[in-house]
Amino acid sequence: MSSKLLFDRIDEPGLSTLAVYERRGGYSALRKALAMAPEDVLSELEASGLRGRGGAGFQMGKKVSFLPKGSMEKYLVCNADESEPGTFKDRELMQKSPHMLLEGIVIGSYAAGANCSFIYIRGEYVLQADVLDAALAEARAAGYLGEDILGSGHSLSLTVHRGAGAYICGEETGLLDSLEGKRGNPRLKPPFPANQGLYQGPTLINNVETLCTVPTILRMGGSQYAKLGVETSTGTKIVSVSGQVRRPGNYEITLGTPSREIVYGLAGGPPEGREVKCWFPGGSSSPVLRADDLDLPYDFDSIAKAGSMLGSGAIIVVDDSTPILDVALKVAKFYRHESCGKCTPCREGTNWTVKMLERIDSGEATPMDLDIMASVQEHIIGNCLCVLGDAMAMPIGSMIAKFRPEFEAHIEAARARNGLGAAGALAGPAPALAQGAL
């Protein structure tokens, strides 16, 4: 289950310095890559089957291959915004082993033919950005970055850019706008960043963990790496486990490990005397799963088949001491706060959902509101400019579907507390769209 690649001796003192990283064989993958043709590096990446670790799970090799060939200015951007609630894996990687990321970026840029790269790091990661800056200076001095890297002819500039704090800047096109100095709003796709990204140039955008994995793949060989994990989810993944567990933290697991082993085995399960009520398998934007889904193998496809998603690999565990309404409110309020406001369903839908949830808690709701709320989530999903709207609507929709009796009980209890009559008496079909059209 836990075969450590990225987290291999991650706590070794001084690993963030070039000396220790090199002593452990650091930058050997880069030397190996630079001795190969860029196309061969790309085929290693494709052979590895590595899927993006940021949330969408798109195959990294394929993403690189989408970049147009030619001599135009191309960019590589490392997404270190890590803004999905419950996700804190990139922070540990960058803080403890920054050179691993730098090495991955240089190899990635070599495969993609990019000569200009950025690490877009969230503003709150002050320490990590400082660590990266220090590592960057060391790597530059050692000739791993800059002009004609290690005599290969490949050049790469790298800038650590600190964000100003917005969830939407973790969305790749919002990130690009922010990097260009604009308000961080997502762009319409197509054109996709691979064709028209940063400053209109072809741009490869990858998550920190994805790029950190690149040196390992080069060292092991793509096909060897692909033997780890399961067929469509190869390799290892760092899982951030948080919420009501005894040992929250980052754990590197082989994809396909049973979820129960992660939640109970590694993270220790919920505190004494409590049971898992539900869990988010991939950050707060993934639809919640129930306790009996814990037997699912933790890989991209198994989780997707169960109606959720692996996302950024952040497991949030909710135990039976927490009302589901509190969970829903927490999630909805976060996304309402972070909605950029550009597209209608997300801007208005997140706002409306929060207001309805608050009404449940204040005892002014009826079960009909649950129907309306569920239909509002349906109207958000798939209709937005980017996935932020879906990121709220999917978990909220799943909570209403899976925990409706608890919501209804909450409504009745709140009404009683409020001195209002039972809502059951008011029950009736909720108005839906496309029936009463003019």
For residue 344, the minimal CB distance to other proteins (Å) is 5
Told to check if 342 binds other proteins by CB under 8 A, we report yes
Do the beta carbons of residue 252 and residue 227 sit within 8 Å? no
Pairing of strands 236-243, 249-254: antiparallel
Burial of 142 (0-12, 13-18, 19+ CB in 10 A): middle
Stretch that binds other proteins, among 95-103, 143-151, 220-228, 342-350 (CB under 8 A): 342-350
Which of 22, 352, 400, 409 binds other proteins (CB under 8 A)? It is 352
The continuous run of DSSP H or E covering 277 comes out as strand 276-280
Nearest to 354 by CA among 336, 372, 378: 336
Residue 121 vs 376, nearer CB to other proteins: 376
Structural element, H or E, at residue 243 = strand 236-243
The encoded tokens of residue 37 equal 């043709």
Residues 127-166 that bind other proteins (CB under 8 A): 166
Under the binding rule (CB under 8 A), the answer on residue 430 touching other proteins is yes
Containing H/E element for 101? helix 98-112
Could you count the other beta carbons within 10 Å of the beta carbon of residue 375? 15
What 3-state DSSP class applies to 30? helix
Q: Does 224 bind other proteins (CB under 8 A)?
A: no
Q: Is 425 in the site for other proteins (CB under 8 A)?
A: no
Handedness of CA 331, 332, 337, 339 (dihedral sign): positive
Q: Does 433 bind other proteins (CB under 8 A)?
A: yes
Q: Phi first, then psi: what are they for 236, rounded to 5°?
A: -110, 165
* Residues 167-186, mask of contacts with other proteins (x by CB under 8 A): -x--------------x---
Taking CB under 8 A as the rule, does residue 328 contact other proteins? no
H-helix or E-strand containing 257?
Answer: strand 257-258
- Chain positions 23 to 62 lying near other proteins, rule: CB under 8 A, are none
By CB under 8 A, name the one of 155, 344, 362, 418 that touches other proteins. 344
Distance in Å, CB of 326 to other proteins, minimum:
20
Distance CA 200, CA 131 (A): 30
Does position 340 interact with other proteins (CB under 8 A)? The reply is yes
State the Cα–Cα distance between residues 96 and 104, nearest whole angstrom.
15
Binding flag, residue 84, other proteins (CB under 8 A)? no
Which listed residue (4, 359, 402, 404) binds other proteins by CB under 8 A? 359
Residue 243 CB, nearest distance to other proteins (Å)?
25
**From the list 24, 379, 402, 404, which residue makes contact with other proteins (rule: CB under 8 A)?**
379
CB of 392 to other proteins, least distance (A): 11
Q: Which residues bind other proteins (CB under 8 A)?
A: 166, 168, 183, 188, 336-345, 347-352, 355-356, 359, 372, 376, 379, 382-385, 430-431, 433-434, 436-438
